[in-house]
């Protein structure tokens, strides 16, 4: 099974744990660092994949993604 196929196996629980971990790590880094390392969540309309994108790459997906 390739990486693309495995990516579809990530469930809601895993996404919740990832969000909790990221929030915890952000608090550890201090106030000078942007939340989530400056990344913003986007869900692709086509297949529901969650992408964490910087502002530069977010613009590439703007027409095909919606905010999470």
Q: Which two tokens stand for residue 59?
A: 């613009």
Q: What is the pLDDT of residues 14-63, one digit of tens each?
A: 888 888 887 888 777 766 777 777 888 888 777 888 888 888 888 887 75
Q: Model-level pTM greater than 0.75? A: no
Q: Which two tokens stand for residue 29?
A: 């880094």
Strands (E), the chain: 40-44, 50-53, 65-67
**pLDDT value of residue 1:** 47
CA distance 42 to 61: 8
Residue extents of the structural domains in the chain = 3-67
What is the 8-class DSSP label of residue 29? H
């Amino acid at each position: 099974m390739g990486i693309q196929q495995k990516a579809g196996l990530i469930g809601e629980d895993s996404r919740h744990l990832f969000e909790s971990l990221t929030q915890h790590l952000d608090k550890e880094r201090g106030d000078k660092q942007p939340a989530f390392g400056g990344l913003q969540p986007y869900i692709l309309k086509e297949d529901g994949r969650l992408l964490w994108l910087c502002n530069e790459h977010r613009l590439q997906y703007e027409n095909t993604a919606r905010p999470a």
